[in-house]
Amino acid sequence: MQEVAVVSQWGNSKGIRLPVEILKKAQVDINDKLFFEVDENKRIILTRTPSPKQGTLEYLFKDYDGGTFKTELIDLGKSVGNEKW
């Protein structure tokens, strides 16, 4: 059975409400994290756990073209508390 959710304005963002039956079926509860991705067919896929590929080096470097990058150190001055670094 296919459910329908309407995109609504929620402050400066947009949001959808998920029916309780769908949440129960997916075993999703209040404050659970949902991960989403958009596939090549513009489908939005929600999962309870991150896609395995998101934790791999291949995923992290998927857009890296082999070029160089510049970094810089920033001097934050003397510590003002009990910092250990």
Convert the pLDDT of each residue in 10-37 to its tens digit: 999 999 999 899 899 989 988 888 988 8
What's the distance, CA 24 to chain centroid?
A: 22
The whole-model pTM stands at 0.49
Region of 76 please: left (phi>0), alpha (psi -120 to 50) or beta. Answer: alpha
Q: Give first-to-last CA distance, the chain, whole Å.
A: 56
b/e map 7-35, b = 16+ CB within 10 Å: eeeeeeeeeeeeeeeeeeeeebeeeeeee
* Contact yes or no for 48/34 (Cβ under 8 A): yes
